[in-house]
A = this chain, B = another copy of it.
Amino acid sequence: MPVTPGRIAAGDSGAFVWPVRVYFEDTDAGGVVYYANYLRFMERARTEWLRQRGFEQDRLRADTGILFVVRSVHLDLKRPARFNDALSVSCRPSGMGRASIDVAQSVTRGDLELASAHVRLACVDAERFVPVAIPAPVRSAIELDLGEKR
């Protein structure tokens, strides 16, 4: 699968960015955001990126029988986020296979990068969870994103 993980910088002009506010629900007794919750923030950005490209995931599932599921995550946590922080979560596709999409993501507070991740999504049949080809319209939209990036 010809997938080249991309790089994404804070403030990178081409990336889709979604604001996330940190509430008490996101923090733990260490006083900072609980590590698993960065994955929740990153999924919100991916959902909004797909929506902005014209794809509602409930509609996709109803119309084509597919789901995007996470196959792997490489997550780096650099600095802690805290209650009340106003974060920016970016999302940019960095590669695509027949049934998978690679996405580079970043969480920043102002100019400071707090976390970054490479996420591989698999396109699967919603009932059996086996890989299926990415629907053509989604493929085209992501190719546009990948093209813009270069």
Contacts and interface: CB of A to CB of B under 8 A. Distances in A.
A94 B32 CA distance: 26
Contacts of A74: 72-75
A74 B79 CA distance: 18
B28 A25 contact: yes
A73 B129 CA distance: 24
A133 interface: no
A103 B74 CA distance: 15
Query: In the assembly, how many copies of this chain are there?
Result: 4
Interface stretch (A8-16, A40-48, A105-113, A138-146): A40-48
Nearest to A27: B29
Main secondary structure of the interface of A (DSSP, over half): mixed
Interface string A16-60: 000001011101111110111101100110010000000011100
A23 B32 CA distance: 15
Interface of A: 21, 23-25, 27-32, 34-37, 39-40, 43-44, 47, 56-58, 67, 69-77, 79-80, 82-84, 126, 129
19 contacts: A23-B44, A24-B28, A24-B30, A24-B34, A27-B28, A30-B69, A35-B69, A36-B37, A36-B40, A36-B43, A57-B83, A58-B84, A71-B76, A71-B77, A72-B74, A72-B77, A73-B73, A73-B74, A74-B74
